[in-house]
Amino acid sequence: MEIVRQIAALKTLRQSLQRNGKSLALVPTMGALHEGHLQLIRQARKENDVVIASIYVNPTQFNNPSDLEKYPRNLLADLEMLRREKVDIVFAPEDAEMYPKPAKLSFDFFELEQVLEGAFRPGHFNGVAIVVSKLFHAVQPDRAYFGQKDLQQVSIIHQLVEDLSFDIEIRTVPTVRESDGLAMSSRNLRLDEEQRLVAPALYENLTIAKTELLNGKSWFETKHTRLQALNQLAVVQLEYLELIDLDGFRVAEAYNPASKQAICIAAYIGEIRLIDNILLG
């Protein structure tokens, strides 16, 4: 496994691999790796000759400086996990390498970023788009791999690829969960014992909501009962629980079995913000 810190060195490696006809996969991460990341790696390994993983905590996508400061970092442990998964190249740059000058470009994804994460984390998707664009330009992969847990982010990246004509296939890998249903996330490491016991309630309520919709209950009634259940949990501060039409990532008023839809949730468990979603149909 080769560890690269500079974009110029990464481009040199990539050019050599492409000259030899190797297909390249990119798995972008912010480190603090867990089984969810490893599933992305394994899927990438199945479908490509060479797997490149990036580890970079991107400051421009954090609208909360405290969240950036407290984001878990353990590069040595991450590298050992990637070595066991036989990743070929790890790109682990410093801030000065990714942002030699402050970025002045600003992305606007219009309605795609005006709801849910975009509404509660202003500027977040601009930061995501900037760093993902930088990674795509440096690596020029054939395929890039992202997790379903960040469902709105995946929609944003699809739009980015379409509008900027990146010749890259975006692959979405299903959310990996703990045995109690909690979606795996680097932020889970920050939950204390009580919070960790409560956190699976997010997915539990998503699952109940999906069952109720598929059994004919209206979204209005389903949302009302799920909000009541979640608001009874003392350590949970709900930000949103919404039904989403995935075509355009719009908030929906009713379940439509003919459309691709999902239920999305975000909540603080104590001071830790978690997101999750469940697909319908």
Contact indicator for 250, 262 with CB cutoff of 8 Å: no
**Residue 219 pLDDT greater than 90, yes or no:** yes
pLDDT in tens, 108-150: 999 999 999 999 999 999 999 999 999 999 999 999 999 999 9
Range of the domain at 130: 2-173
Residue 124 annotated as binding? no
The confidence score (pLDDT) of residue 183 equals: 98
Instruction: Tell me the CA end-to-end span of the chain in Å, nearest whole number.
Output: 40
Tokens, residue 214:
């598929």
Residue 184 annotated as binding? yes
Contact indicator for 23, 50 with CB cutoff of 8 Å: yes
Of 147, 173, 199, the residue at which a domain comes to its end is: 173
User: What is the CATH classification number for the domain harbouring 106?
Assistant: 3.40.50.620
Contact indicator for 173, 148 with CB cutoff of 8 Å: yes
Residue 32 annotated as binding? yes
Pure H helices in 74-147: 75-84, 95-98, 117-120, 124-139
Shared domain for 168 and 249, answered yes or no, is no
- Mean pLDDT (the chain) is 97
Residue 187 annotated as binding? yes
CA–CA gap between residue 175 and residue 37 (Å, rounded): 10
Q: What's the Cα-to-Cα distance from 185 to each of 40, 69, 87, 127, rounded to whole Å?
A: 13, 17, 21, 19
pLDDT in tens, 245-279: 999 999 999 999 999 999 999 999 999 999 999 99
Strand partners, 265: 241, 276
Percent with pLDDT over 70 in the chain: 100
CA–CA gap between residue 222 and residue 201 (Å, rounded): 16
Please indicate, yes or no, if residue 56 is contained in any of the structural domains: yes
Question: Which residues have a catalytic role annotated?
Answer: 37
**Residue 63 pLDDT greater than 90, yes or no:** no
Shared domain for 268 and 201, answered yes or no, is yes
Pure H helices in 112-192: 117-120, 124-139, 151-164
The confidence score (pLDDT) of residue 19 equals: 93
The confidence score (pLDDT) of residue 126 equals: 97
Domain count, the chain: 2
Q: What's the Cα-to-Cα distance from 53 to each of 38, 72, 184, 254, rounded to whole Å?
A: 10, 18, 18, 39
Percent with pLDDT over 90 in the chain: 98
**Residue 61 pLDDT greater than 80, yes or no:** yes
Residue 150 annotated as binding? yes
The confidence score (pLDDT) of residue 170 equals: 98
> At 281, is the pLDDT very low, low, confident or very high (cuts 50, 70, 90)?
confident
Q: Write down the pTM of the prediction.
A: 0.96
Residue 98 annotated as binding? no
User: What is the CATH classification number for the domain harbouring 268?
Assistant: 3.30.1300.10
Of 173, 199, 223, the residue at which a domain comes to its end is: 173
Q: Is 53 helix (H, G, I), strand (E, B) or coil?
A: strand
Q: How many helices (H) and strands (E) does the chain have?
A: 11, 10
> At 25, is the pLDDT very low, low, confident or very high (cuts 50, 70, 90)?
very high
Average pLDDT of span 69-79: 94
Dihedral of CA atoms 120, 145, 89, 102 in degrees, nearest 10, equals -30
pLDDT in tens, 48-60: 999 999 999 999 9
> What amino acid is encoded at 35 in this protein?
E
Strand order of the β-sheet with 24-29 is 2-4, 89-91, 50-55, 24-29, 143-147, 169-173
Shared domain for 197 and 81, answered yes or no, is no
Shared domain for 164 and 223, answered yes or no, is no
CA–CA gap between residue 100 and residue 141 (Å, rounded): 23
CA–CA gap between residue 130 and residue 83 (Å, rounded): 28
Query: Distance of alpha carbon 123 from its chain centroid, rounded?
Result: 16
CA–CA gap between residue 147 and residue 161 (Å, rounded): 16
Strand partners, 28: 54
Average pLDDT of span 95-116: 95
Shared domain for 120 and 228, answered yes or no, is no
